[in-house]
C-alpha cells in the first residue's frame, strides 16, 4: 500500500511539474512574441512563402501569442490582405515568390494569383524562384514578371489528373461492407463500394471537370507568359518542362540560376549593388503589420461569415461546419444594425442534409432584413451548394467545384465478417420495427425501402430549394442535379451561380445591394484561441499532433489512402456530399 501511495504521489508530482514547466514555457513565448517588433525597411521585398496549409479563414485573434505554438495554418483572407497592403506600401518595392509545394486548393491558388496580378498594376515587380515546380506552384509563379528555376531543379507540367479510390474488393476480403442507397445518375460517392472500376458517367463528369479547370489555368498562364494556349498544351503533352533547359526553351522560364544569383536579380530590380544588403520581409512578419491596416473604413459594416469544412451536426469549429457556430454568426450579423449586408464564404464538400437545411433556413431569415451574397471557394458542392442556393447572388471562382445536387445513404454492415468469426446477434423488440438496424444482420428489403424513401424526400427538398433560389422549375433543377459536379465556369453558364469572381467581388456586390458606399469588414465566426483548443485536447494523442506523426512515419501517399478509407467508413446515414474524393495532381 505504501508503494502504491508513493507511486501515485510521484505520478501526480510529475504531472504538476510538467504543467508548471509547460505554462512557464508558454508564458515565456508570449513575452517574446509581445516584445518583438516588426518593421519594414525602405526599399524592401516581400518574401511570399506559404509554409503551412492555407484555409479560407483561421479566426485567429490579432496578436495571439499561442498561434506560433499550436496553429500551423495560414488564412487566405490574411494573405490577400497583406498583398493589397503591400501594393500601397512605399517601402515594399516588389514581391519574391519563393514557394515550393503550396498546400492549397486550385481556387485558393487562383485567388492569390489574382491578388498578385493586381499588385503588378502598381508598377512594382514580382519575381519567382523555385527549386522544383509542381503544377500548382508554377501556376502561381507564372504571374511573375520573371520566373527562375534552380539548374538542378525540375518542373512537373503535364496537365491535370484525378484519382478515385475503390473499395469493393477490400469489402469482399474483409467481410466489412457499406450498404448504399443513392439518388442521382452521377452520385458517385457510393460507387467505390459497388465496383472496382470507374463508371462511364463518373469518368465523363470528372474528365469534363478537369478539362474546365485546366482550361482556366492554361488561359491565365498563356496571358502572363505570352504563349498560346495551343503551345502550352503541346508543352504539357510532350513534358516540355521536365528539364530546366527544356522549360526555358519552351518559354515557361526566363532563366536558370542558383538562389544567390536570383538574389542578385532582386538587388538589380531594387537598384542596389551586389554587395549591398537585400532588405526582405517574410509574409508571416508582414501579416503582423498588414492586419493592423484597414483597407475598408466606414461606420456601416459588411459581415463576412466563413463556412469551411464538412457539414456535421453540432457546434462546429475551424474545419467543421456545424449549425451551432454558423447560425450564431448569421444571427449576430442579422441583428447587428451596423451590418448592412452579409457575405457567406462557403468552402465545403457537403455532409449532413439536416444541418444544411437548418443553415439554409437561417440564411432565409437573414435575407428578410439584409442582402446575402455567397462567395464560393475551392469547393461548394452538395450540402455546400445547398446552403448557398438561397443567396441573393452567388459568386464562384472559375476553378471552383460546385453543384453535386444529390443525396445518398451509406450504412456499414459486418454480417459477413461476423459469420466468418463466429458471432451471432439476436434481437428482441416489442413492435414490428422497434428493433434497430443491426450491423450484424444483412439489410432487409423493408429497411432499405425506408432509407430510400428518406433519400427521395431529401432529394426533392433539395431540388425545391434550388428551384426557388435560382428561379427555375423543378424539372430544370433536376436536369442540372443528379449529383453532377461542375466547375465555376460551367456553373455560371448553367445558371447555378451568378458571377465569376472572388471574395472581394462578392463583398463589393453585397455593398452595392445594400446601397452602401463606405464600409468596414466584420468577420465571423470567432473561434476558440489556439491555446483553448490545445487544452481541450490536452492529455489525448492530439497533444503530440498524431496526424502529423503518422504522416511523417508512413509517407504522404500512404497517409492519403489511410485518410480516404477512414473518411468513407465514417460516412454513415444520408449524406449530401461531393460525389467523390478527388485527388487532383
Q: Clarify whether 288 is annotated catalytic.
A: no
Q: For 189-262, list the strands marked E by DSSP.
A: 255-256
CA distances from 251 to 174, 222, 230, 243, 381 (A): 52, 10, 13, 12, 36
Contacts of 99 (CB under 8 A, 6+ apart): 48, 49, 50, 130, 137, 140, 141
CB 350 within 8 A of CB 356: yes
Q: Clarify whether 187 is annotated catalytic.
A: yes
CB-count exposure of residue 195 (10 Å: 0-12, 13-18, 19+): middle
The span from the CA of 395 to the CA of 114, in Å, is 15
C-alpha count within 13 angstroms, C-beta hemisphere, residue 459 = 25
Chain position carrying cell 431540388? 463
The span from the CA of 551 to the CA of 558, in Å, is 8
For helices 323-335 and 353-367, give the axis angle rounded to 10 degrees: 0
453: left (phi over 0), alpha (psi -120 to 50) or beta: alpha
CB 348 within 8 A of CB 383: yes
Of 290, 348, 352, 382, catalytic: 382
C-alpha cell at 324: 451551432
The span from the CA of 184 to the CA of 430, in Å, is 37
CB 83 within 8 A of CB 115: yes
Long-range contacts of 141-146 (CB under 8 A, 24+ apart): 141/97, 141/99, 142/220, 142/221, 142/224, 142/225, 142/252, 143/113, 143/116, 143/117, 143/220, 143/224, 144/97, 144/116, 144/224, 145/120, 146/254, 146/255, 146/265
Whether cis (ω within 30° of 0) applies to the bond prior to 525 is yes
Of 87, 187, 301, 393, catalytic: 187
The span from the CA of 585 to the CA of 568, in Å, is 21
CB 139 within 8 A of CB 221: yes
User: Active-site residue numbers?
Assistant: 187, 382
Amino acid at each position: 500500500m505504501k508503494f502504491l501511495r508513493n507511486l501515485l504521489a510521484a505520478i501526480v508530482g510529475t504531472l504538476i511539474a510538467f504543467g508548471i514547466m509547460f505554462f512557464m514555457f508558454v508564458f515565456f513565448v508570449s513575452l517574446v512574441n509581445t516584445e518583438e517588433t516588426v518593421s519594414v525597411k525602405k526599399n524592401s521585398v516581400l518574401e511570399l512563402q506559404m509554409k503551412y496549409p492555407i484555409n479560407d479563414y483561421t479566426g485567429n485573434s490579432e496578436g495571439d501569442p499561442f498561434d506560433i505554438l499550436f496553429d500551423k495554418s495560414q488564412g487566405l483572407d490574411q494573405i490577400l490582405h497583406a498583398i493589397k497592403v503591400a501594393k500601397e506600401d512605399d517601402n515594399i518595392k516588389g514581391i519574391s515568390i519563393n514557394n515550393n509545394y503550396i498546400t492549397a486548393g486550385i481556387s485558393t491558388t487562383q485567388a492569390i494569383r489574382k491578388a498578385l496580378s493586381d499588385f503588378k498594376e502598381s508598377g512594382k515587380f514580382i519575381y519567382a524562384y523555385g527549386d522544383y515546380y509542381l503544377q500548382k506552384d508554377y501556376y502561381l509563379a507564372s504571374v511573375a514578371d520573371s520566373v527562375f528555376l534552380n539548374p538542378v531543379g525540375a518542373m512537373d507540367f503535364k496537365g491535370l489528373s484525378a484519382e478515385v479510390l475503390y473499395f469493393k474488393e477490400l469489402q469482399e476480403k474483409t467481410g466489412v461492407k457499406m450498404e448504399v442507397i443513392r439518388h442521382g445518375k452521377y452520385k458517385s460517392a457510393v460507387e467505390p463500394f459497388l465496383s472496382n472500376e470507374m463508371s462511364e458517367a463518373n469518368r465523363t463528369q470528372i474528365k469534363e471537370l478537369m478539362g474546365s479547370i485546366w482550361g482556366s489555368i492554361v488561359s491565365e498562364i498563356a496571358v502572363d507568359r505570352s504563349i498560346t494556349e495551343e503551345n502550352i498544351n503541346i508543352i504539357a503533352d510532350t513534358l516540355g518542362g521536365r528539364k530546366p533547359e527544356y522549360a526555358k526553351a519552351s518559354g515557361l522560364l526566363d532563366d536558370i540560376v542558383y538562389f544567390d544569383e536570383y538574389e542578385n536579380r532582386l538587388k538589380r530590380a531594387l537598384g542596389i549593388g551586389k554587395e549591398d544588403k537585400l532588405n526582405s520581409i517574410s509574409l508571416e512578419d508582414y501579416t503582423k503589420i498588414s492586419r493592423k491596416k484597414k483597407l475598408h473604413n466606414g461606420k456601416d459594416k459588411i459581415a463576412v461569415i466563413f463556412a469551411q469544412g464538412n457539414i456535421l451536426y453540432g457546434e462546429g469549429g475551424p474545419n467543421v461546419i456545424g449549425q451551432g457556430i454558423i447560425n450564431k454568426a448569421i444571427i449576430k450579423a442579422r441583428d447587428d444594425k451596423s451590418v448592412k449586408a452579409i457575405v457567406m464564404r462557403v468552402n465545403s464538400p457537403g455532409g449532413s442534409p439536416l444541418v444544411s437545411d437548418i443553415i439554409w433556413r437561417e440564411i432565409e431569415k437573414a435575407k428578410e432584413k439584409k442582402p446575402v451574397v455567397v462567395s464560393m471557394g475551392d469547393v461548394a458542392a452538395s450540402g455546400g451548394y445547398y446552403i448557398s442556393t438561397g443567396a441573393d447572388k452567388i459568386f464562384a471562382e472559375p476553378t471552383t467545384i460546385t453543384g453535386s445536387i444529390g443525396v445518398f445513404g451509406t450504412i456499414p454492415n459486418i454480417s459477413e465478417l461476423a459469420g466468418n468469426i463466429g458471432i451471432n446477434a439476436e434481437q428482441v423488440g416489442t413492435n414490428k420495427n422497434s428493433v434497430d438496424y443491426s450491423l450484424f444482420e444483412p439489410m432487409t428489403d423493408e429497411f432499405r425501402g425506408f432509407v430510400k424513401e428518406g433519400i427521395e424526400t431529401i432529394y426533392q427538398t433539395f431540388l425545391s430549394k434550388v428551384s426557388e433560389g435560382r428561379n427555375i422549375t423543378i424539372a430544370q433543377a433536376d436536369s442540372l442535379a443528379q449529383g453532377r459536379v461542375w466547375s465555376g465556369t460551367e456553373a455560371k453558364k448553367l445558371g447555378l451561380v451568378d458571377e465569376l469572381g472572388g471574395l472581394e467581388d462578392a463583398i463589393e456586390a453585397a455593398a452595392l445591394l445594400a446601397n452602401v458606399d463606405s464600409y468596414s469588414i466584420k468577420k465571423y465566426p470567432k473561434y476558440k484561441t489556439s491555446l483553448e483548443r490545445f487544452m481541450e485536447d490536452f492529455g489525448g494523442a492530439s497533444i503530440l499532433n498524431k496526424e502529423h506523426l503518422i504522416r511523417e512515419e508512413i509517407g504522404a501517399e500512404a497517409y492519403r489512402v489511410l485518410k480516404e478509407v477512414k473518411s468513407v467508413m465514417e460516412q454513415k446515414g444520408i449524406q449530401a456530399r461531393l460525389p467523390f474524393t478527388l485527388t487532383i495532381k
